[in-house]
Structure 1
Amino acid sequence: MATLGFIGAGAIGTTLARLAIAADFDVVLANSRGPQTLAATVERLGARARAATPEEAALADDQVVVSIPLAAYRQLPAAALEGKVVLDASNYYASRDGHLPALDAGELTTSELVQQHLGGATLVKAFNNLSAHHITALARPAGAADRTALPIAGDDPQAKAAADELISRLGFDTVDAGPLAESWRFEPETDAYTAPYCADPDALWAAWTQLAEALRTGTPPQAYAPDPGAPLPADRLRTLLAGASRKLTADRVIA
């Protein structure tokens, strides 16, 4: 029986774990606060899920999904992840993660930074460019006419092939965006980030702008109703990736 480890059990990690169980995986979930804090999550996911430490999740199988705030990347268990394919869903928000000069300047992408810490693992950037509720809304069986494509990036062709196979089992096609150095093409606020998966992209941008103003002024943000999602075919995603402009921290609405 195939097993998939998850380091990070927030909205993205838990949503993907649910899809993995539906795709006949056992799942091992970990967070930074200890297995005991995941009891309710594991109960909701059912008998094929169990809670563990990050080291145990890293050793669960040859592929591990990492979906943690970037500020915590140095806490990833590098030794336990050695030799693994790591699907990295991290994004950089300086207001949350603290300023990282190499990322602010565009000297590295987020996943290149994580790869430096995980020298013995092989990273594939994936799952960072759409929301958890869109993952749920847009997953489809292989061959479905309205299947959605997700971008991936990585430096190792075999690792990308393994990631493609896994992501297909979870319900999505993939588009190869190139090496980790090109993964900025689907980082926050680029053309391939979140908005093209929305039924109403204008509403999303308006919500981001309002949130940025709320963060700037310290006022409570307005509630935003989850968008129902719209399928994004592979050809359209390729066009968005090819035409992307890099958004450094200073260029973004929400930094």
Structure 2
Amino acid sequence: MDRRTYSGGMKIGILGAGHIGQALARLLAQAGHDVGLSNSRGPETLRDLTERLGHGIKAFSNEDAARFGDLVIETVPFGRYAELPTVQLTDKIVIDTANYYPQRDGPIDLGGLSESAFMASHLGGARVVKAFNTIHAAHLETQGDVGKPLEERRAIPVASDDAEAKAVVSDLIKAIGFAPVDNGDLEHSRSQQPGTPVYGQDLTARQAREVLAVR
């Protein structure tokens, strides 16, 4: 499946209905995509939320959301990575928004890998892209501006071993009013993890490239 297949409106499954999942569901649905949202408790617990979010957002189980999406966004806490529906995510672009907080998630042996490279190893056949992990949900809700030139928008670092998947995700980021900044492969995503200078910071694309030392 090439990049052209993802142009225009597509089906997007979002695993996790927390603040980031809700914000992305609304923004992507407003941008013209068909969005399905899930949580670990089942779709019946999401009916009121999806009605409030509007824009035709659907409620799914995690397995059905993964099956539904041409592209899938996982927003579950990192410590629950083993609960992700790996079979249904095979060959799909998966945006990994998770951050590893040992105090919340407990000890996890990453085997020397970055968080997102560890996630990609766990998911096996998925085309993993690290994005949306450096921004607070409230800022995701309010700071996107499609009317601004790209260089003046808030930056969203993007890392992946898959260039085509990274390009698809970068297009989504532009469509909701932010500026994607290419941060290299999944191992380079270490520089956008918690505790790094770009994490949680309101930076333009130019400023983020300077902080990340990328072009």
TM-score scaled by structure 1? Answer: 0.77
Q: Paired residue for 1:151?
A: 157
Q: Given that residues 25 and 48 in structure 1 are in contact (C-alpha distance below 8 angstroms), is that contact kept between their aligned partners in structure 2?
A: no
Q: Does 1:8 align with 2:33?
A: no
CA distance in 2, matches of 1:190, 1:132: 18
How many residues in Structure 1 have an aligned counterpart in Structure 2? 205
Aligned amino acid, residue 184 of structure 2: G
Aligned amino acid, residue 242 of structure 1: A
- Give the drift of 1:143: 4.4
Q: Given that residues 15 and 66 in structure 2 are in contact (C-alpha distance below 8 angstroms), is that contact kept between their aligned partners in structure 1?
A: yes
SS in 1 for 2:129: strand
CA distance in 2, matches of 1:236, 1:23: 26
CA distance in 2, matches of 1:47, 1:239: 37
CA distance in 2, matches of 1:87, 1:25: 15
- Give the drift of 1:137: 1.8
Query: Any unmatched runs of 5+ in structure 2?
Result: 1-8
Query: Any unmatched runs of 5+ in structure 1?
Result: 198-231, 244-255
Q: Paired residue for 1:120?
A: 125
Q: 1:141 aligns with which of 137, 143, 146?
A: 146
Rg larger in structure = 1
CA deviations 1:60-108 (Å, max 9, x no partner) are: 23211111101111111111000100000000011111111337xxx11
SS in 1 for 2:100: coil
Aligned amino acid, residue 177 of structure 1: N
Aligned amino acid, residue 73 of structure 2: V
Q: Which moved more, 1:78-87 or 1:1-10?
A: 1-10
Q: Does 1:31 align with 2:36?
A: no
Q: Does 1:240 align with 2:211?
A: yes
Q: 2:187 aligns with which of 181, 190, 210?
A: 181
CA distance in 2, matches of 1:152, 1:89: 10
Aligned amino acid, residue 118 of structure 1: L
CA deviations 1:187-216 (Å, max 9, x no partner) are: 00100000x21xxxxxxxxxxxxxxxxxxx
Q: Paired residue for 2:171?
A: 165
Q: Paired residue for 1:72?
A: 80
Q: Paired residue for 1:218?
A: none
Q: Does 1:131 align with 2:136?
A: yes
CA deviations 1:202-236 (Å, max 9, x no partner) are: xxxxxxxxxxxxxxxxxxxxxxxxxxxxxx22110
CA distance in 1, matches of 2:34, 2:56: 5
CA distance in 2, matches of 1:164, 1:142: 17
> Could you tell me the percent identity over the aligned residues?
41
Q: Paired residue for 2:5?
A: none
TM-score scaled by structure 2? Answer: 0.91
Q: Does 1:100 align with 2:104?
A: no
Q: Given that residues 13 and 72 in structure 2 are in contact (C-alpha distance below 8 angstroms), is that contact kept between their aligned partners in structure 1?
A: yes
SS in 2 for 1:99: coil
CA distance in 2, matches of 1:102, 1:135: 28
